[in-house]
Amino acid sequence: MLPISMFNIKTLSRGLYLSNNFLSGSIPKEVGMLVNLAVLSLSTNNLSGVLPEELGNCQLLAVLELDGNSFQGPIPSFLSKLKGLEFLNLSCNSFSGAIPQELGLLNELQELYLQENNLSGHIPMVIENLTHLYKLDISYNNIEGVVPEKGVFNNASGILLVGNKGLCGGIPELHLPECSIQHDKKYSPMLLKLAIPFVSTIFFLGIIFLAFLIPKWKRKLTRNSRTNSLPKGRLPKVSYSDLAEATEAFAPSNLIGAGKYSRVYKGVLLFKEEDNSNQEAHTVAVKVFDLQQLGSSKSFMAECEALRLIRHRNLIRNITCCSTIDYSGNDFKALVFDYIPNGNLSRWLHPEIDDDLALSPLNLTQRLNIAIDIADALNYLHHNCQPSVIHCDLKPSNILLREDLSACVGDFGLAKLLPDPVTKSLVASESSIGIRGSIGYVPPEYGEGGPVSTTGDVYSFGVLLLEMFTGKNPTEYMFKDGLTLHNFVQMAYPKRVMDIVDPNLFALNVIESNAFNRMCECLVSILNIGLTCSKQSPVERMSMEHVAIQLHKIRDVYLRK
Catalytically active residues, by annotation: 393
Query: Exposed, middle or buried, 434 (CB in 10 Å: 0-12/13-18/19+)?
Result: exposed
The total number of residues written for the chain in this structure: 561
Q: Is 83 annotated as a binding residue?
A: no
168 and 146 Cβ atoms separated by less than 8 Å: yes
86 and 111 Cβ atoms separated by less than 8 Å: yes
Q: Which of 427, 412, 407 is nearest to 362 (CA)?
A: 407
Q: Alpha-carbon distance 193 to 161, whole Å?
A: 34
Query: Exposed, middle or buried, 189 (CB in 10 Å: 0-12/13-18/19+)?
Result: exposed
How many CB atoms lie under 10 A from the CB of residue 209?
A: 10
DSSP-H helix ranges across 343-500: 345-349, 364-383, 424-431, 444-447, 454-470, 485-492, 497-500
What CA dihedral angle connects 501, 502, 505 and 506, to 10 degrees? 80
DSSP string covering 180-216: PGGG-TTS-HHHHHHHHHHHHHHHHHHHHHHHHHHHH
Q: Alpha-carbon distance 305 to 231, whole Å?
A: 15
Q: Alpha-carbon distance 121 to 159, whole Å?
A: 18
Residues of 278-310 as b/e, b for ≥16 C-beta within 10 angstroms?
Answer: eeeebebbbbbbbeeeeebeebbebbbebbeeb
DSSP 102: G
Extract long-range pairs of 319-323: CB within 8 Å, 24+ residues apart. 319/235, 319/236, 319/282, 319/284, 320/235, 320/236, 320/237, 320/238, 321/235, 322/238, 322/239, 322/240, 322/242, 322/243
- 328 alpha carbon, distance to own chain's centre: 40
Q: Alpha-carbon distance 352 to 363, whole Å?
A: 18
Q: Which of 9, 45, 11, 7 is nearest to 29 (CA)?
A: 7
> In sequence order, what are the residues at sequence separation of 6 or more whose Cβ sits closer than 8 angstroms to the Cβ of residue 124?
98, 99, 100, 101, 103, 104
304: part of which helix (H) or strand (E)? helix 296-309
Q: Alpha-carbon distance 30 to 49, whole Å?
A: 15
- 37 alpha carbon, distance to own chain's centre: 19
- Write out the binding residues: 287
